[in-house]
């Protein structure tokens, strides 16, 4: 029996609803693969912020550092500014644990309608730079409240940071269909993006077996809608990858289907697994959130922990459950509750031990 310690941060809104279901799927699959997962849950959230003035305690990073992986739901709630919840929890964790690779797959599932033509052939991975780029603390505001009020925010692109994320993307492309697209905007952003392009070109030389191209982010967004099946791996900066992955999730049929992994590929620190979606206050508490994104994120965690068979089994079960219209949640036109959709995934695990 191999065991792993998992730190769980359910968070706000639908975060706890989908995380509970993802954990029950993990509980169902783990014993079939000789795994034991020990969880410790933390109530770090906007509720905690309102009560104590902090999203998480001072020693949060030290505490999380003792786990093999982190499973997160979502954070954010009306009344707490989104930059407070993001910069008070998610971003510090990503940065402290050097989770520089944000892996966001999106694919069509049989029976799930895409809002765009050709979306039923979507199968790609967005590789998002996760610790630098446009999401930087460097900048400030001046003359608050005066007519000459101003705000400045710097983007930070380092050779080390760009090289490692681009390499990670090329390596992923080698394991997939051997195609990579780099998201750029070097026509309008004249310092950082030409630098990004130069590094991509250099790194590409190390991977002659990968066919690659680059597209400006605006044209790329249009191409994802017009010809989704054309893409395999798409690598982008922190901002571009963030935006693109909501788009690719929508093309797949719902934000409720999109998982993500925040990886420290060196393995020095714990990696974190979370759905791409947020806390969805509009549907929170109604039991109607789609748990598949959280379940698939948990499957990515199993893979990262060295259990690809268990991971693939969860994904096949999710796929089987989505093929049945009666176990789909309302975002996919169904009537199943979060819990019922999760139970369908567990039922679909069946005796499948491949």
What whole-number distance in Å separates Cα of residue 2 and Cα of residue 10? Answer: 24
Determine, following the binding rule CB under 5 A, whether residue 340 of this chain makes contact with Mg ion. no
Which is nearer to ligand NAI, 45 or 313 (by Cβ)? 45
Size of the site for ligand NAI (CB under 6 A): 22
- For ligand NAI, the closer of residues 4 and 328 by Cβ is 328
What whole-number distance in Å separates Cα of residue 26 and Cα of residue 30? 6
Interface stretch with Mg ion, choices 77-85, 155-163, 234-242, 335-343 (CB under 5 A): 234-242
Closest approach of Mg ion to the CB of residue 243, in Å: 7
Q: Are 309 and 42 in contact (CB under 8 A)?
A: no
The token duo for 350 is: 């069946």
CA 291 to chain centre: 14
Q: Does 256 bind ligand NAI (CB under 6 A)?
A: yes
DSSP string, 213-276: EEEEHHHHHHHHHH-GGG-SEEEE-HHHHHHHHHHHHHHHT-GGG-EEEEE-TTSSS-EEEEES
**Does the annotation count 351 as an active-site position?**
no
Count of residues touching Mg ion (by CB under 5 A) = 1
Residue 279 contact partner, candidates ligand NAI, Mg ion, none, CB within 5 to 8 A by sort of partner? ligand NAI
Q: Smallest gap, in angstroms, from Cβ of residue 193 to ligand NAI?
A: 25
Q: Which member of 39, 123, 197, 246 is catalytic? A: 246
d(CA 41, CA 264): 21
Segment (H or E) for 3: strand 2-11
Nearer to ligand NAI among residue 255 and residue 300 (C-beta)? 255
Is 242 a catalytic site residue? yes
Q: How far is the CB of 125 from ligand NAI (least distance, A)?
A: 18
Using CB under 6 A as the binding rule, whether residue 295 contacts ligand NAI is answered as: no
- Part in contact with Mg ion (CB under 5 A); list of ranges 76-84, 127-135, 219-227, 241-249: 241-249
Exposed/middle/buried for residue 96 (C-beta within 10 Å: 0-12, 13-18, 19+) = middle
Please identify, using beta-carbon distances, which residue of 268 and 282 lies nearer to ligand NAI.
282
> 242 is in the binding site of which of Mg ion, ligand NAI, none (Cβ under 5 to 8 A by kind)?
Mg ion
CB 48 within 8 A of CB 16: no
Question: Binding ligand NAI by CB under 6 A: which of 119, 241, 278, 334?
Answer: 278
Query: CB of residue 180 vs ligand NAI: minimum separation in angstroms?
Result: 25
Smallest gap from Cβ 246 to Mg ion, in A, equals 5
**Tokens encoding 124:** 């790609």
Select from 30-38, 74-82, 126-134, 218-226 the region that touches ligand NAI (CB under 6 A).
74-82
Q: From the list Mg ion, ligand NAI, none, which binds 90 (C-beta under 5 to 8 Å, kind-based)?
A: ligand NAI
Active-site position among 12, 68, 232, 242: 242
Nearest partner of 320 among 348, 300, 352, 354, judged by Cα: 348
Quick one: 275 exposed, middle or buried, by C-beta within 10 A (0-12, 13-18, 19+)?
buried
Helix (H) or strand (E) holding 34: none
Site for ligand NAI in 16-45 (CB under 6 A): 18
Kindly tell me which residue out of 68, 242, 264, 274 binds Mg ion, with binding defined by CB under 5 A.
242
Active site residue 135: yes
The structure tokens listed for 132 are 């630098």
Give DSSP secondary structure letters for 125-187: EEEEE-SSBTS-S-EEEESTTSTT-EEEE--B--HHHHHHHHHHHHHHHHHTTSEEEEEE-TT
Residue 289 as a binder of ligand NAI (CB under 6 A): the answer is yes
The binding site for ligand NAI (CB under 6 A) comprises 14, 18, 74-76, 82, 85, 90, 255-256, 274, 277-283, 289-290, 293, 331
The binding site for Mg ion (CB under 5 A) comprises 242
């Amino acid at each position: 029996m191999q065991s792993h310690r998992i730190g769980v941060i359910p968070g706000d809104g639908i975060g706890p609803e989908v995380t509970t279901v993802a954990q029950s799927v993990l509980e169902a699959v783990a014993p079939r693969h000789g795994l034991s997962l020990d969880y410790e849950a933390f109530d770090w959230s906007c509720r905690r912020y309102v009560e104590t003035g902090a999203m998480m305690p001072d020693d949060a990073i030290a505490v999380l550092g003792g786990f093999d992986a982190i499973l997160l739901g979502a954070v954010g709630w009306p009344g707490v500014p989104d930059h407070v919840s993001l910069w008070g929890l998610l971003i510090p964790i990503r940065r402290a644990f050097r989770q520089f690779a944000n892996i966001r797959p999106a694919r069509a599932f049989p029976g799930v309608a895409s809002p765009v033509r050709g979306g039923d052939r979507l199968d790609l991975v967005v590789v998002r730079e996760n610790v630098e780029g446009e999401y930087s603390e460097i900048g400030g505001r001046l003359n608050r409240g005066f007519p000459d009020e101003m705000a400045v925010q710097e983007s930070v692109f380092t050779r080390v940071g760009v090289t490692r994320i681009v390499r990670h993307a090329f390596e992923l492309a080698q394991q997939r269909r051997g195609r990579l697209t780099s998201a750029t905007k070097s026509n309008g952003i004249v310092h950082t993006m030409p630098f990004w392009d130069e590094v991509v070109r250099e790194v590409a030389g190390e991977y002659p077996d990968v066919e690659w191209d680059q597209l400006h982010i605006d044209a790329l967004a249009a191409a994802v809608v017009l010809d989704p099946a054309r893409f395999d791996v798409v690598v982008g900066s922190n901002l571009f990858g963030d935006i693109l992955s909501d788009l690719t999730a929508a093309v797949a049929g719902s934000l409720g289907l999109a998982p993500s992994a925040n990886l420290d590929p060196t393995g020095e620190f714990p990696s974190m697994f979370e759905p791409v979606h947020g806390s969805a206050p509009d549907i929170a508490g109604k039991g109607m959130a789609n748990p598949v994104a959280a379940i698939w994120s948990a499957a990515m965690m199993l893979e990262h922990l060295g259990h690809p068979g268990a991971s693939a089994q969860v994904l096949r079960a999710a796929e089987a459950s989505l093929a049945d219209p009666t176990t789909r949640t309302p975002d996919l036109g169904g009537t199943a509750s979060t819990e019922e959709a999760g139970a369908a995934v567990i039922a679909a695990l069946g005796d499948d031990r491949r």
